[in-house]
Amino acid sequence: MATSNDKSTAEGESNTPPIPVPREHKALDYLLSQIPKKAQKGMLVQCDLDLLCVDADSEYIVLGSNVGTLFLYSRKREVMERLKTNSHNDLITAVRLHHGLEHQVVAGTSKGIVYIFQLPSSLPGQNKRLQMFVVKDMHKHKITCCVWSLNGMKVFTGDDSGVVVSTEFDAYQGQCKSSVTLVERDSQIIQLHHAHKALLVSTNHRSFIFRPDADDHIIQVGQKERKIVGDFGACFIPAMCKPDDASAVCVKTRNESVEGGHGWKSHQYIFVQRTPSKGPS
């Protein structure tokens, strides 16, 4: 005879949400087949077309190339569009999409130029034409990463000399304003993540949280820099909380071995809470 404890256990198990199982999506051959293998530079020069970076959301997949062209694929309409920079010699090294009332794309090049595209909107009363904004002379080196603020009115870009630039973007006024946010000397910016009014910055030496809303206060993740220089990133854990309660996950190294990398969970004011997963010793 089943006891009340057995029944409660069975009910608890039935109410437990299923564990998500990773699944493989179909190959993107249909997308890649719409991108040429060669590109024309000038009248007589032809070169291989290489894809250098990618980003995706529920609406679009965007790929940056070595010929100053972004290939923008609409997942709903199954149509490929091209967004072109001012030069076919631009190597697009970083790209990021943003989806709000309108869609926006930011792309950075190997020469430190940043291009911001405002895509046409199908919503009534919204922008109906493609707009492009160019940010020059702020970065002197290759753009390595970029990230949008939540409302899409600001974009942060980082380069391989440790410079992070903030660009305030207003498509309706047709203008943008840029300023240097911070400089990490002798470092390369690996990843940027913006959430909770804070910017999480990962360099090849360390990860830290930059608080522009708190007098540009910087909080380092962990008490020491990495023992091994490497391309390790960090991101905020999605949560509805106050900025002071936000947590982040940071990938670091252990035992002076890149293969022994593991993750750190960090609170903004309690530097390292725990190690959620460890690699091999």
Query: What pLDDT score does 261 carry?
Result: 45
Query: What pLDDT score does 220 carry?
Result: 80
Question: What percentage of the chain exceeds 70 in pLDDT?
Answer: 75
Helices vs. strands in the chain: H and E counts, helices first: 2, 22
d(C-alpha 271, C-alpha 266), whole Å: 5
pTM of the model: 0.78
Pick from 250, 240, 243, 245: nearest CA to 270: 245
In the numeric block, the tokens 């009534």 are attached to 124
Task: Pinpoint the residues of the chain covered by CATH 2.130.10.10.
Answer: 29-183
**Secondary structure element (H or E) that encloses residue 6, with its range:** helix 4-15
Place 213 in a pLDDT band, splitting at 50, 70 and 90. Answer: confident
For 74-95, the pLDDT digits (tens) are: 988 889 999 999 999 999 999 9
Percent of residues in the chain assigned helix, strand, coil, to nearest 5: 10, 50, 45
Mean pLDDT of all residues belonging to the chain: 80
- Between 243 and 220, name the one with better pLDDT: 220
Q: At a CB cut-off of 8 Å and minimum separation 6, what does 78 contact?
A: 30
Class of 29-183 in CATH: mainly beta
d(C-alpha 256, C-alpha 281), whole Å: 10
DSSP secondary structure letter of residue 225: -
Query: What pLDDT score does 3 carry?
Result: 56
Place 168 in a pLDDT band, splitting at 50, 70 and 90. Answer: very high
- Between 250 and 143, name the one with better pLDDT: 143
